[in-house]
Amino acid sequence: MSVGRVRIGAAGLAAVAMLAVTSAGAPAVASGGTGGTVHAGTQAAMDAAVKAGVPGVAAQVKDGISVWPGTSGVGNLQTRQPRSAFDRYRIGSMTKTFVATVLLQLEAEGKIDLDDPVETWLPGVVQGNGNDGRLVSVRQLLDHTSGLFNYVMDPEFLENGFTEKFLEHRYDTYTPEQLVAMAVRHQPLFAPGAGWSYSNTNYVLAGMIVEKVTGRSYADEIDRRIVKPLGLYGTSVPRTNSSLPQPSSRAYSKLSLQPQPGGQVYDVTELNPSAAGSAGAMISESGDLNRFYSALLGGKLLPARQLAEMKTTVAVPPGSGAPFTGYGLGLMKFDLSCGTSVWGHGGNIQGSASEAVTTADGKHSLAFNFNGDWAGDTQSVLEAEYCPQ
């Protein structure tokens, strides 16, 4: 749900608070699946994450017509089964890019104006304690300039979701209305448009607006507008289903606001993703994510005007802890140390930390997942792939 340099556990939340390749028409799989020479740095960065404590890493790189599948570590701490590059995993906040894409498609179709007030579509939902949906636009939801409190940081939600209490609440079902209500019982962080702060509340509201505009759930719209047209066979919106489809690895967390070396590790693979909703509930795999972000940046999902809107970023305030430098409409811009910029999103949820990015032309894409939420550095993997020494 939340996004950070590495983990969500709850430390990552607090710090930022912010398939197998099919044979028909599939890219060729490059040799060197355990590193080779082209991706040796990327493999080394993945290995370093495992050495730092991440149980395992699963990755794919799509560069032109070739695909490199990379892995490190294990997918199951009990059996020691290695990770697979084709694992499915919870993608957390990458869900936001899918939701934003749907809303931008609806804008292109003339069904919504992103400068509409939230109140136009969700009357009375954002009201109270200084919150006013008449003053917040749909666009401000998508670029996190709404000022709305991040419901994930509500003390009760934080305790139930990111401490050992999670084990009692992992199968709880939340409605979008409940999640928004948790946010609006807090005062906004700033007036709409007067700042930037990452808030999962924004995208819960965005998903609700998709349903108001279309008469169908955000899950159905993502499926019919993105998943099916692109053939993303490993991608799904699980709604309240707590299991992970196969193939997949186990997901692990220390369930601590301040995870310590040597602390107990819990298997958190099964959970009810309604607590993340349209801000972070989706499941995918690295190959699908590469196809999605490549198609998006390559102009296959949005008209040029809407893609330009999506890439119009708000600068991320210094000291926010975010590894990205700008945030557009459901899209992060990462300016790397070598001067290369890549576009995509991070995604964290209990037991899972992931990144998926691509170049501006959509031709060189990387997606990977850590199946632990307390260690490792996702940014170092990006740097190794796009800024090789």
Q: Which residues are catalytic?
A: 93
Question: CB within 8 A of 379, min separation 6: which ones?
Answer: 5, 6, 323
Q: Which tokens in the block code for residue 81?
A: 């089964």
160/284 Cα distance (integer angstroms)? 25
Contact criterion met (CB below 8 Å) for 242 and 232: no
77/251 Cα distance (integer angstroms)? 10
For 17, 83, 177, 190, 354, the CA distances from 266, given in Å and listed in that order, are 23, 18, 30, 37, 19
225/94 Cα distance (integer angstroms)? 16
379/384 Cα distance (integer angstroms)? 9
Helix and strand element counts for the chain (H, E): 14, 15
For residue 380, give the H/E element and its range.
Answer: helix 378-386
